[in-house]
Amino acid sequence: MATNHVALRSIPISLQVEDVNIRGEVVCLLPNEFVVEITYPVGGRWLPLHLPHFAMARQNWYATVDGWQTTGLSQKGMRRAIDLLLDLYEMNKNDAPFAPLSSRPMHTTRSLARTR
């Protein structure tokens, strides 16, 4: 973790895959790590991404900074965040309560109790 940087929190991200609008957020962002959580059509699942210290050249950072304040996602950070959001969707799309009707069984009562 970047020792002295102040984290930026709750950055909304989204993408469209076929007819599904996928929404999520970068829960916590630092120059060398962040966590992405999917919020729609599945909620409560997340993935972290960490950049090791030996790879901390500024062009590899996931965030932009002003002094010690994290100010936003870098271009690389945005690409990685979208990739993680897509991965979360792909891993969990069969559990999605709001999946397109054509891809969901008609009579299911499964609980979506898996959360953080």
Extents of the domains making up the chain: 8-103
Q: How many CB atoms lie within 10 A of CB 89?
A: 21
Residues of the chain whose pLDDT is less than 70? 1-3, 96-116
Which tens digits make up the pLDDT trace of 100-112? 434 434 333 333 3
Task: From 36, 9, 40, select the one nearest 25 (Cα to Cα).
Answer: 36
Strand partners, 49: 34
pLDDT of residue 60: 85
pLDDT of the residue at 3: 57
* DSSP of 12-37: EEEEEETTEEEEEEEEEEETTEEEEE
In this prediction, residue 107 carries a pLDDT of 36
Q: How far is CA 112 from CA 57, 96, 97, 108, in A?
A: 40, 9, 8, 11
